[in-house]
């Protein structure tokens, strides 16, 4: 065999084991990180990471005016999927609250979130990057709000309800058909009771389904890389 200098004399040197090792990159082990989250919801939320619950609103949704903020930590390895379940209070499938009283009305929702890493840097905020899917919408006709005896499923108090899609909060779920989260202003949501206790990142926005009043249960997800 010809050597590099053109000579055919002398043995061909074989690379050593240590030299061969230089051609291989040692994989870096994934490490779990600790994250700090702040969430404010009207009226209730649950947060999952890769399908496992890491937080739930401590105030029951049936509590009148159950607006509040929650702050908590969780650990995860990137990339991971955030699954947010957000619910507005409704007495039944009409989507109304205070039924039969002078206060009978459609409720309205809204949620805002921010997540920081151990260094304090913001890595996630609620905004239009999230994909959301409404699994309970009511009343489909807003004039239901004025009915003296509203009955779910009868005109004008129709509703649209479905179960959570299987695996929607996991990494293998296809959300290409889901809409981007709808973004609303503070004036539209009118957040209170805990909202002002959090120093929100300037990029964090109030999100919900397409209609603050008719979207009663909303599933939203985001992949964090």
Give the CATH number of the domain where residue 69 resides.
Answer: 2.60.120
Report the range of poorest mean pLDDT among 22-36, 60-74, 79-93, 164-178. Answer: 22-36
pLDDT of amino acid 85: 98
pTM for the predicted model, two decimal places: 0.86
Would residue 21 count as lying in a domain? no
Give the mean model confidence (pLDDT) for residues 61-71: 87
Q: What is the pLDDT of residues 83-119, one digit of tens each?
A: 999 999 999 999 999 999 999 999 999 999 999 999 9
Model confidence at 224: pLDDT above 90: yes
> 19-28 long-range contacts, Cβ below 8 Å, gap at least 24?
none
Give the domain extent around 85: 34-224
Dist CA 208 CA 49 (whole Å): 19
Residue 197 domain-assigned (yes or no): yes
Percentage of the residues of the chain whose pLDDT score is greater than 90: 82
Question: Between 28 and 159, whose confidence is greater?
Answer: 159
Q: How far is CA 186 from CA 152, 165, 170, 206, in A?
A: 31, 30, 31, 7
User: Of 168, 191, 184, which is closest to residue 67 (Cα–Cα)?
Assistant: 191
The answer to whether residue 202 sits within a structural domain is: yes
More confident residue, 89 or 64: 89
Q: Determine, yes or no, domain membership for 23.
A: no
pLDDT of residue 181: 98
In sequence order, the 6+-apart residues with CB closer than 8 A to the CB of 197 are 69
Average pLDDT, the chain: 90
If one counts the domains in the chain, the total is 1
- Using a pLDDT cut of 70, give the percent of the chain over it: 87
> What tens digit of pLDDT does each residue of 121-141 get?
999 999 999 999 999 999 999
pLDDT of residue 30: 65
In a domain, 50, yes or no: yes
At which residue do the structure tokens 């082990």 appear? 29
pLDDT for the residue numbered 66: 80
3-state SS of 114-178 is EEECCCCCEEEECCCCCEEEEEEECCCCHHHHHCCCCCCCCCCCCCEECCCCCCCCCCCCCCCCC
The pLDDT of residue 67:
84
Which of these, 95, 61, 56, 81, lies nearest to 167 by C-alpha position? 81
Residue 24 lies in a domain: no
Residue 107 lies in a domain: yes
Residue 133 located in a structural domain: yes
The 8 Å CB, 24+ separation contacts for 143-147 are: 144/94, 144/95, 144/96, 144/106, 145/96, 145/104, 145/105, 145/106
């Amino acid at each position: 065999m010809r050597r590099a200098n053109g000579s055919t004399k002398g043995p061909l040197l074989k690379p050593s084991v240590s030299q061969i090792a230089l051609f291989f990159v040692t994989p870096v082990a994934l490490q779990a990180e600790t994250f700090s989250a702040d969430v404010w919801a009207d009226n209730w939320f649950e947060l999952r990471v890769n399908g496992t619950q890491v937080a739930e609103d401590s105030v029951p949704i049936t509590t009148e005016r159950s607006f509040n903020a929650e702050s908590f930590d969780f650990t995860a390895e990137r990339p991971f999927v955030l699954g947010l379940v957000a619910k507005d209070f409704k007495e039944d499938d009409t989507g109304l609250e205070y039924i039969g009283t002078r206060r009978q009305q459609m409720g309205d929702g809204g949620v805002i979130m921010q997540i920081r890493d151990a260094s304090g840097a913001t890595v996630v905020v609620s905004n239009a990057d999230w994909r959301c899917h409404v699994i309970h919408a009511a009343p489909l006709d807003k004039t239901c709000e004025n009915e003296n005896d509203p009955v779910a499923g009868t005109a004008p108090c129709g509703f649209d309800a479905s179960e959570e899609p299987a695996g929607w909060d996991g990494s293998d779920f296809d959300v290409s058909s889901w809409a981007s989260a709808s973004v609303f202003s503070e004036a539209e949501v009118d957040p209170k009771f805990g909202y002002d206790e959090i120093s929100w990142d300037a990029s964090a926005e109030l999100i919900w389904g397409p209609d603050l009043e008719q979207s009663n249960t909303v599933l939203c997800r985001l992949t964090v890389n």
